[in-house]
Amino acid sequence: MEPAVATSGNAEAGIPTLHLRGAPQPVPPYLDVHYWWAYVHPNAVRVFERQWLANLILWGNYARLRDAALAALGERPGGRTLQVACVYGDLTVRLSGRIAAAGGTLDVADVLPVQLDNLRRKLPAEAPARLIHTDSAELPAADATYDRALLFFLLHEQPESYRRRTLAEAVRVVKPGGRIVIVEYARPRWWNPLRYVFAPVLAALEPFALDLWREDVTAWIPAAGEGLKIERASYFGGLYQAIVITR
């Protein structure tokens, strides 16, 4: 059974936000300490919500990785789709358009109200979407609720304990036969110059990101995830990866 929720929203946008009843959702310490400048502070949205800047941060690969994620989710993703964490740029707008055309619904879960408010402004009023104010490590959904889930550059921002819980939750809430799509950093090929020049940048700005250079993402899926079908694709000399996990 899903936890009780309260609903709020913007009457003009028509897109509701679901809040868990009880104590307000706290901002996870790793976000407050390491990512206040990128996500938590209101000025972060004003700075980073620019398509060209999202593309620059990904070394010109935003559109390519966005389209890879959309393709992995399916051309006509009907049923119920979950996006875990908001994303700068137009990924969610494009995803909601595909879902609307297929007659499906989209839930987007994020622990930061400022990010949910920013996404609401980007989505069209008629988008078949709900915004859920919750932690990715404790999703307010029953087992096997969704047909598919997307994690787009989320895991590299989380310490290992949160990363494990987030992956466990994603596997839990997706139906048997459904898929979890993960787009993330990976260890570049030996010949990729970014392997040497980008590592210190990540170490300084995104202290958990290099975990994905050292370990395979699937290493953090709990034992209950054994037997999952896993497909992979690599991009930009190995710096980025797309993983499709089918339950």
Q: Give me the pLDDT at residue 20, please.
A: 62
pLDDT digits (tens, 9 = 90+) for 86-130: 999 999 999 999 999 999 999 999 999 999 999 999 999 999 999
Distance CA 208, CA 188 (A): 16
Distance CA 141, CA 172 (A): 9
Q: Report domain extents, the chain.
A: 5-246
Contacts for 106 with CB less than 8 Å, ≥ 6 apart: 81, 82, 83, 92, 95, 96, 99, 127, 128, 129, 130
DSSP reduced 3-state for 139 = coil
Helix (H) or strand (E) holding 81: strand 80-84
Q: Give me the pLDDT at residue 16, please.
A: 85
The whole-model pTM stands at 0.93
| 196 — pLDDT class (breaks 50, 70, 90) | very high
For 5, which DSSP code?
E
pLDDT digits (tens, 9 = 90+) for 149-165: 999 999 999 999 999 99
pLDDT digits (tens, 9 = 90+) for 19-67: 765 556 789 999 999 999 999 999 999 999 999 999 999 999 999 999 9
DSSP reduced 3-state for 148 = strand
> Considering the chain, what percentage of its residues have pLDDT values greater than 70?
92
Is residue 1 over pLDDT 50?
no
Burial call 71-91: b when 16+ CB within 10 Å, e when fewer: ebbbeebeebbbbbbbbbbeb
| 14 — pLDDT class (breaks 50, 70, 90) | confident
The CATH fold assigned to 5-246 is Rossmann fold (3.40.50)
Q: Is the dihedral of CA 64, 69, 74, 76 positive or negative?
A: negative
Q: Give me the pLDDT at residue 17, please.
A: 83
Q: Give me the pLDDT at residue 4, please.
A: 47
pLDDT digits (tens, 9 = 90+) for 168-188: 999 999 999 999 999 999 999
| 224 — pLDDT class (breaks 50, 70, 90) | low
